[in-house]
Every structure is written in C-alpha cells, then in structure tokens.
Structure 1
C-alpha cells in the first residue's frame, strides 16, 4: 500500500525566548498579560517604550468589554512608531491553569505573525510559568492535509519578559517539552487511519526511541502468536493490517536496582469499527483517535530523558485495528490471553480491554514493576459518569498512587476523578465458560476496570479511562477542535516529578 512519507519526528514549536529586562528592539506586536490585580509591574516601562499609556488603554478596553479572565484578548492598533499594535491578554488570578490558557490565547493570536513580545507579571512561580509555556505549545497545534486554504502558520518567535533581570529559560524549556508531548499525542490521534495502522504506530515509536535514547522492541503478528498474546491477535484478526505490540524502555542515568520502576500500558486501537458488533456511522466518526492511550505513552517516554525523570519506565503499546470481516473474532469466542487467563467475548466493540489485558499480564509476568498504570479511551460510559472535557476517570488499588496521579492531573490540566472498584460488581463479568466476559450490563466503566484489575496481579495498579477528555468540540482553552492527546501531559508531569512513586505500596 502506498504511504505518505514519515512525518517529522518532533513538531516544530514556536521559539519561546526568555528576555531578562525589556528588549531594546521588540516585535511589531506587543502582548501585555493582564491579571485580576491589573497590569504587570513592567507595564509602565513598556508603555514608555511604546508611547502608550497602558493604564488608560486598559481602562478603555475594560469599559468596552475586556475582562482579565484567562484567555481573553483585546487588540489596539498603533498608528505611529515601530510597533503596530498592543494586545491585552487576560490571565485571571495567575494560577498555572489560567496562565496555560493565556499562553494558548497568545499562540492563537500570533498565527501568521513572525514575532511577538509578551510582558508578564514579575515573580510568577515556576509551575505557573511552565504552564504558560505549555499553553503556547498547545495553542500552536495544527494538523491538516489541505492543499489550499491551509490557514495561517504558527507564530515563529515569542520573546517573553517580566522586565526584571531574572533568568527563567530552563522553566520555559521544561514547559515546552511537556507541551510537546501533548502535541505529539494529538498528532498521532488526529492522523487519519488510512495513513495510520499498528505498523505506522510502531514506526513512530521506533523513530522517537532512536532520537531520545530509548530501547525499543516490536512484536509482529508471528511473534505475538508465538508468545501467546491472544487478546491483541483476536482484536486484529479482522483487519488486513496486522497488530503490533511495542515496548519502549527508559532508564535514567545512575539507575540502580533500587530505582523505582513504573510500567505504562497504552491502548493503541488505530481504528475501531466495533468489529462484528458494528458501531453505527456516528459511533465510528472520531475512532481514529482510539489509540490516544498508546500515543500518549509513546509521547511520554519521548520526554523523560530531557526532563531528567528519576524513575525507570517501560511503555507497552497494545496496537490493533478492529475491523469486521470473514476472519474477524466473534461474540461467544473464548480468548486466551498472555499468561493463560481466558475471556468470553460478548461484544467485539469492547476490544480495548482485550488488548490491554495482554499488556498488563506481560508486565506482571515478565517485568515485575513497582507500579503499573494503564491508559485508554476505553468506555463511553465514563462520559456518562463524568461528562466531557472536565475530568478523566481514575481507578486505583493504591491510595498513594491515586493521590499522586490526581495531583499530576491538577498540575498538568488533565484532571482526574477517582472512581470506585466495588467487588460487588465482579459478578457482572462472570461466566461459566471462561474466567470472565468482556462486556456486561451495568456500570460500564467500572466493570471494564474490574475486568482489567484481574490482570494486574497484586501490583499497585491504576487504570485511566480518558474517553471523557479525549476530544474537544471547539478551539478553546489549550485545546483545538478534535483529539486532545489526553494522558500525555498528565503522565509526563507525574513521572518527571521529584518522587512519583512516593508512598506507593
């Protein structure tokens, strides 16, 4: 099959450059980031440089509807001097979340421009300035296959200053790296499935591994059969494009046998028709993003060395295309997973848990990590529970692990809500034919988590069901319309924190 040439391994982001003191020669557009407390301290100096009374400008713009709530913008043209316009951008109370939104708004406003100069409040905490940089990266995201009307390109350079002599370049660079993981995960999820299949996903992982010092191993369909990955093979049987199992390994410098070890398992369904339990057309639209979990794991692993993560991490991506055909797996089939546990299939559209089960079982049997986390766009039921674009679902067998992930969710902007794992519901997935069924009536996100829990052994385990935050309906906040790349920023923030496994076990 003819294929497009491989994309650039890393996206080209805007150059976000920290400038101690106000620049002598700024760009043609200056952005003043305004909080609830008013203009930044450097605004007076900036106003003198621009020949503008910024206090009066803010007063006028406020009278005509501008508010400093995060992400709002108001542009004011200048008719004389080297600068063409001044833009006010709201940053609300200056929290990391609000500054992330402000950074994204600046990136959107800057499309088509060569350069912006942005003035922020002095003394912004590192975590908030980092979030601002993440927002610039995420707000710059673009993806299309257009040949005409391709839209404005992202801004090439943003010079950022608070007017002081402080040096904050390292904080900004960290934010750009984390933002880049979100961009990569979005790019993978947005790539149409006529281009993207399990082999494509394996090729992207292999490219990133070569660039970032990761070890990589890929199982093809023959090796999957030889090693007993029955879930991945079953889901991929109906497609002419065979499945893959991808392993990426990150080992920090100076690692010892006492270095904490985390395994991530990602769902990598490159297209989901539902198989023989066929989805309606409306249900298939957007199913190119059903590999968001796997893409997020790949993006996360790509950033760990740059961020100096102190834990050893293995990423396992369980990838298949779920298609109906004469070779497809069927309702009532019994699957034997890696390690021997069996599943009776009741719905071929509950395929994600079947591939994840193989990955979890492999991790428990062969890797024996300290912590095990899987991530997936697994159920529509989680959207019923949590709505859209507010929280992802978090299930966990260890309270400290749940707390650490939830904290990373707050910091990264990909928030989580902990869901229960009641043993009373295990009977809902029982069957006299096999060890469990893959689908049942009842609380769907919970029974899916309970199905996976059986494959996690006695390890501290968490399951992230992120369907509820996987797709944005609008260009808003740090998101663009379409796939959000949910999970990449969350996992990267968690694993690159000072002690991600603190208290677990």
Structure 2
C-alpha cells in the first residue's frame, strides 16, 4: 500500500479520526457530534464506527484512555482502521491524533507500520476464494510536513516491510519453508541490501567444530545451513553487534518426540532467524552508523536413524561438551554454536540472540512479554527501554550463578536441560538461557530473548491477521540506532 504525507485540505477517501474514551472529541461535523452524544462510552481501543455526512465518509476508531496511549496503541489503531477499510474503499486519510509524551514524528512512524502490517495476510496465497483488497492509498494529514516527518515515514515503511518478511517466512507451511528456501530469501536480502553473505553447509560447519549444530541437522533429510550476513556502517568503530537467530523450520522434538496436538505450530520455531533476517534487511536500508553481523542457524529437528539421541555427548564450537538429556531442547544446542561463531569468527563485541526456546516462558509471561536474560544489566535495561519506545514488551528474569548447578552434567561440561529443581522443568527458561550463556566468551555483553510466547499469535485481531509477528525487529533497530 502507498502511504504518504499530505497537508491541510488534502484529504482523500474515508477520513479516519481517533476517539479517546475519556475525552470528548472536538468535532465540527454535526453527524459526528450527534454520534458521540448518543454513544458517550465510544472510544474503547480499536472500536470502530463508519459514519456518513453528505459526501464525506468518516471512520471513528477508539484509542482508549488518553494517558495510556503509547506507540503500540497508535500502531494498532492505524492497523484496525486500515484492516476495516481494506475491502471497502480505495483511499483513506488519517487525521494524526495528539498523543501525550509521543512526538508527532513517532506517531507518524507508528501509523505507517500499523497500516502496512494490516494489509499482510498469507492466506490469500492458499485459499481458493478471497476478497480482494481495494484499499491502495493511505494519507497522513499533518499541519506542516518536515524532513523529520518524511524520514519517519520512510522508516515506518522499511520496518513494516522487514516485519512482513519475517511474518511471511513464519507463516509459510513447513513443506515450503525449508532451510533451503530460507537461504534463498537471505540471498535476496543480501543482494538487494549489498550485504556480504557467507553460508556454511553441514560439512563445513562440522569441519569448523560446530558439533552441536551438526548433531541436530543429522536427523533431517533437508540440507541445513548457517547463514551469516555482514553490514559495515562505521569502519572506525571497534564495536560490532552480533544478532543471532534460531531457525528450526520444523521441530518435531526429534527422538524426544513432541505430542501431536499442536505440533503444526512448530513451523514457527524458525521465528528467531526470521526476525534477524528482517532486522538485517531494515539495517541495510536505514544504514545506521554501526557494524553488525547477523547469524541465522537453519535446520529441522526430525527423528530418523541418523538423529542424535538422549545420552549423546556433543562437542560444541565453544569447546565445551554438552550431554543431551532431551532432543527437544535442540535450540540451545544450535545457539551455543551460533553465538560462538559470531564471537570467534566475526569478532562480535555484544550479542543478542532471539529464539523460540521454551514453553516455560509462556507459563511465566503468557503471549504478551518476551523474556530477557542477560549477563549485563545496563545492556538489558537499554533493550527494554528501546522496546518501550516502539511498542514491544519485555520482562527480565534472573540469571544468578546459583542456577549454574542446574545444568551441570556428571559426564560432560553442561547438560542441555535443567535438573535438580523441586519439580520437573523448574526454572526452565533460565536453565535454557544458562546453557547458551556457557558459550559467551570473556563476559562480553549478551542478551537472550525467549520469544516463544510472542513470535506468533493465532488469535484474530482487528489490526492484523493471525500468525507470525516479526517480534524484536523494531526493538533491534531502535537499540542499534541509539
């Protein structure tokens, strides 16, 4: 969809107006005034009402209470507006609302993202009958256009494109979304964004010493890859960001087979890699003054005669040996090799990994917050604050050394699931993070994001279709750009 700025007097199509639930709007049109008078409680978040006044159509969309409005609510407000009108009209014009504590340029960015995310729906590729989208243009009405407004408009479009890439890759069926398909998409991103790409196949990875990745990959007939994208934005800087994404394109659990109920959702186990690829695409277009390496580790976790087994001991690229107690805890095995690669081969000085790692994080935080685990409080606080600015929620969990004993092994350096708690699976998300942390060298700043609860949402929302979310992309760009 084309989204552009317009100035006073240039409204096109349906005019979209935000309504606060706790503040009476200052409308001039008598039809709008009458509706609000007759419906004084109107204004709940994403509540919609289409009204007609002469030749003009208006869409009223609720914003909730004014003091509670943030970037996420504005984004979803715009998404609800666009999604409501997708099959109805060709053009719409947003009247940009005034929001306490958020600049107009930030509101513009949020509106652009919400509008573009609303249009995405992969089901149109597979359903035999779909309603065509007729909405082609969205206009953002501002009193006076500025360079900053234009830059944030562009940034919003870039971020939305990156998020929709991650959403598309996540939503694709696993018979199509294989490691090979993901590699083809990474090559497109590298070519378009002029990023350096390096690909390690299974034999090359094993030769390097990535024993954990190789063990997981052995069980699948699909070729597996470690994909590295490099962006150089500041040749003088010594600092280099390492973004690492888990990319299990389908996770059966391996020999430790998952229950069949709900297993279809395990196509989303590559969402961490999808978010890293989306972030690298946005980085290549927005060109922050930073040096960044993105490492995506792609495979399937499948049972076969070649699968790794409970009881196996693997040598990871970090040099540490890992005892496998459960093959369904494969993500941490992949990530310890991937973060070691980012440090050892690409000299990353700070690390962020994203992974749909544990069901335990959903028990703790539901579908609303991403779990944060870190060895550096300042770094973690910066990420959480960056998330607040762009409408992504994070919650930090403890990483005290007291948890180290829960991943100790009698035979190897570490074990791939925690043990010793008062109930099975105790501190499951923390022990998963502790395993990955064992690969962090010289205590460089590192954050693990457990996105198992936030990487996909199968509930229909008024502002977006169900499926993958592309979580973390906005936060990474905000953090790196600071």
Q: Give yes or no for TM over 0.5.
A: yes
Q: 1:91 aligns with which of 63, 77, 84?
A: 63
Task: State the Cα distance separating 1:336 from its structure 2 match.
Answer: 1.2
Matched-pair contact (CA < 8 Å) for 2:59–2:81 = no
- Match in the other structure for 1:261: 240
Task: State the Cα distance separating 1:479 from its structure 2 match.
Answer: 4.3
Matched-pair contact (CA < 8 Å) for 2:80–2:464 = no
CA distance in 2, matches of 1:314, 1:477: 36
1:478/1:434 CA distance change after superposition, 3 Å: farther
Matched, 1:199 2:201: no
CA distance in 1, matches of 2:109, 2:37: 29
- The DSSP-based 3-state class of the residue aligned with 2:3 is strand
Q: How many residues align?
A: 464
1:332/1:259 CA distance change after superposition, 3 Å: same
Residues 43-442 of structure 1: matches in 2 within 5 Å?
Answer: 44=28, 47=29, 53-60=31-38, 62-63=39-40, 66-67=42-43, 69-78=44-53, 80-81=54-55, 83=56, 85-92=57-64, 93=66, 94-112=69-87, 113-121=89-97, 125-144=104-123, 145-153=125-133, 155-162=135-142, 164-167=143-146, 168-252=149-233, 255-388=234-367, 390-441=368-419, 442=426
Matched-pair contact (CA < 8 Å) for 1:472–1:479 = no
1:57/1:169 CA distance change after superposition, 3 Å: farther
CA distance in 2, matches of 1:492, 1:155: 29
Task: State the Cα distance separating 1:477 from its structure 2 match.
Answer: 6.1
Runs of at least 5 residues in structure 1 that lack an aligned partner in the other structure: 1-13, 499-505
1:274/1:472 CA distance change after superposition, 3 Å: same
TM-score (norm 2): 0.92
1:343/1:122 CA distance change after superposition, 3 Å: closer
Matched-pair contact (CA < 8 Å) for 1:198–1:243 = yes
Runs of at least 5 residues in structure 2 that lack an aligned partner in the other structure: 420-425
TM-score (norm 1): 0.87
CA distance in 1, matches of 2:160, 2:59: 24
- Match in the other structure for 1:5: none
Matched-pair contact (CA < 8 Å) for 1:266–1:295 = yes
Which deviations, in whole Å up to 9, do the C-alpha atoms of 1:379-420 show, x marking residues without a partner? 0011111122x2110011111110111012112222110111
Matched-pair contact (CA < 8 Å) for 1:181–1:489 = no
1:406/1:297 CA distance change after superposition, 3 Å: same
- Match in the other structure for 1:449: 433
Which deviations, in whole Å up to 9, do the C-alpha atoms of 1:426-449 show, x marking residues without a partner? 111111211111013321100011
CA distance in 1, matches of 2:7, 2:98: 11
- Match in the other structure for 1:22: 9
Root-mean-square deviation over aligned CA pairs: 1.9
CA distance in 2, matches of 1:270, 1:208: 19
Task: State the Cα distance separating 1:283 from its structure 2 match.
Answer: 4.2
Which deviations, in whole Å up to 9, do the C-alpha atoms of 1:136-176 show, x marking residues without a partner? 122222112324222342621111204x2333332222122
CA distance in 1, matches of 2:235, 2:320: 33
